[in-house]
Amino acid sequence: MDIKITITGIALLLCTMVAGQTTLLDGKFVFTMHQQTRTYQVKVVEKGDSVYADWKTYYNFHWLAGRYAMEKASLKNGDALSWLQPIDGKVENLKKNETFGFISRKALADLRTKGYFLYNQTVYRLNTQSPPKETFGGIPLLAVVADVAATEMWIVDNDGLPVIVRLSNNPLGIDWVVSDR
């Protein structure tokens, strides 16, 4: 009887912990930087007033993991990508205007209505001449090109989480591709 009650209690506790969050993305980021490739599993969850990007990767026969923490306001109104390198065991608290791996909902709305958005003081314009034929989880993608340095992004046309599923020609040398597994 005591074991049954304990197992039930643990199950209820776990359900309560998960019930308060919404998973926005569970995918694989493949980063390329200076001809080196690293693959990260990334799960983005919305919980309370925060958005978390939990990452993990297998490197040198060990699992490494960490988290990027953002205020929910950054998902709504952010205007800058964070370029902080992931550090094992560390929670990186991003600035109020920063996002990781996605643009804000406001930037997506600007892209739809104006044909461009501003991020990291750079204008990204909708590329209607060569739109992506691929989808992400069945959702269409929007292609943008930066006015400076010709950085290209493919962004999921999704109000829930406008993920940047492809970033290329980045002047910082950090490009990536995301798959939904």
Cα(8)–Cα(73) distance, integer angstroms: 36
Residue 39: give its domain's CATH number.
Answer: 2.50.20
Asked if pLDDT for residue 4 goes beyond 70, the answer is no
Tell me whether strands 50-59 and 62-71 are parallel, antiparallel or unpaired.
antiparallel
> What is the DSSP secondary structure assignment for residue 175, as one 8-state letter?
E
Amino acid at 17: M
Cα(98)–Cα(119) distance, integer angstroms: 9
Q: In this structure, is residue 4 part of a structural domain?
A: no
Mean pLDDT confidence for 6-10: 39
Q: In this structure, is residue 65 part of a structural domain?
A: yes
Q: Which domain holds residue 112?
A: 21-179
Q: In this structure, is residue 1 part of a structural domain?
A: no
As given in the structure block, the two tokens for residue 132 are 């992506």
Number of domains in the chain: 1
Q: In this structure, is residue 112 part of a structural domain?
A: yes
Q: In this structure, is residue 11 part of a structural domain?
A: no
Cα(149)–Cα(155) distance, integer angstroms: 18
Interval 103-152: pLDDT, tens: 999 999 999 999 999 999 999 999 988 889 999 999 999 999 999 989 99
Q: In this structure, is residue 2 part of a structural domain?
A: no
Q: In this structure, is residue 106 part of a structural domain?
A: yes
Helical (H) or strand (E) element with 62: strand 62-71
Residue 158 pLDDT: 97
Is residue 112 within 8 A of residue 104, CB to CB? The reply is: no
Q: In this structure, is residue 10 part of a structural domain?
A: no
Q: What is the SS3 string spanning 110-139?
A: HHHHHCEEEECCEEEEECCCCCCCCEECCE
